[in-house]
Amino acid sequence: MSAADELRATLARILPPSWTALVAGDDREGLDEMIAATDPAEVSELVRMVARDGWLVPEWPCELGGRALGADETVDVRRELARWRVGTVESAIGTGWVGPAILKYASSDVAEELLPPIARNEALWCQLFSEPDAGSDLAAVRTRATRDGDVWTVTGRKIWTSRADRAGWGLAVARTDASVPKHAGLTCFLVDMRSAGVSFRPIRQMTGDAEFFEVNLGDVRIPDRYRLGEAGQGWEVVRAVLALERVAGSGAGAATPGSMVGRPIEELVSNYLPTASELEADRIARLWVESRAIAFNNRRHALHRTENLPPVANGTPYNKVMQAEHTKRLQRAFLDFGELGLLAHAPDARGAAYDVWAYLRVQPKTVAGGTSEVLRDQIAERGLGMPRGTDPSRTQSWRSFIDSSGASA
């Protein structure tokens, strides 16, 4: 029995019959509605029952809560989890990119403390990187961390933090040295979100949801043992985490459960290709080819990570750019083929309401996790070897750069 078959049997045994029936009927909207209407505590407990056997982190070592599976089996398991909606983006932040960073950069005792609860879905995580005054320049961090013996005091603001209201822990980047260039003076910390000084407020999206938060860190005290990596190594840690995030969110095939939004390409093909005109068929075919390329690239990324091979294309996020733009084109196609009936749908037209919501929800895809414009610069410079543009902040200290711009560090 393959790992995916074993997982399928486990899910059918643990989850309610109504859940299983909706998966068997491929009723995505019905499944989403059922999960949304269920007590979150009950859903979390069901996911924890699945997670006890290491299914949420199939590639992690067994002693840290995983199953030590290879790349291909890991991809198949993650696709099955996504199909059953087990392990959403809330848990994916911990299982998909913060957890692997802890595995790589934390001490063994911290890894043994924090990773098993992630694997068991007992601890949710958030990511505290973006800041209100930094724009797309993630290294322009103004959150400060000062050390006093074995404790750091962190002060600053973070924005666009997913699920800060439910996260027990967060991964934050802060500036610990303003006397060196901006990338060199950063350090990462593991923040207990229940600590004194941590507060947050929701940010309302155009879908009406509030998935993101602005987080205030007011003199939050963090023991040095929860520093991730060495002091000044923060940019390396950030890049590693972002690479994992972009792979996780880069399409069907190896995507972390919950990272995909809207209907899949298979539904577009089955619903509209049989009656499509030549131009419509060409559009559908192009979208299908894009989806296959993204899926194959994800399998290649998964293989390289599992086998400890060098990152593909020097680690550039080419597949994240492809997936973000593909997802927007795909969900727009569902609106176009559905015509005005989707926009002027009846209140009880569940499928039409879902398509409109999905179209609105995917618009930030080319911004979240790095804007496509910034990521194209990275692809050009690191992947294609093109010359880097002039950036004075890379050669002078952060303090002098900020002073020259008239801003506050």
Catalytic residue, from 80, 131, 211, 245: name it: 245
Pairing of the two strands 198-203 and 212-223: antiparallel
In contact, 188 and 231? CB cutoff 8 Å: no
Give the count of alpha carbons within 13 A of 199, CB side only. Answer: 5
Nearest residue to 98 (alpha-carbon basis) of 129, 72, 70, 71:
129
Torsion (CA) 129, 135, 138, 143 in degrees, nearest 10:
-60
Torsion (CA) 19, 23, 333, 378 in degrees, nearest 10:
90
Nearest residue to 121 (alpha-carbon basis) of 27, 209, 14:
14
- State both tokens at 395: 């050669």
In contact, 198 and 156? CB cutoff 8 Å: no
Q: How far apart are CA 174 and CA 139, in angstroms?
A: 9
- State both tokens at 35: 């999960």
Q: Is 49 exposed, middle or buried (0-12, 13-18, 19+ CB in 10 A)?
A: middle
DSSP 120-136: TT---EEEE---TTTTT
Active site residue 381: no
What is each CA distance from 242 to 194, 320, 358, in whole angstroms? 25, 11, 24
Longest pairwise C-alpha distance within the chain: 70
Catalytic residues: 245
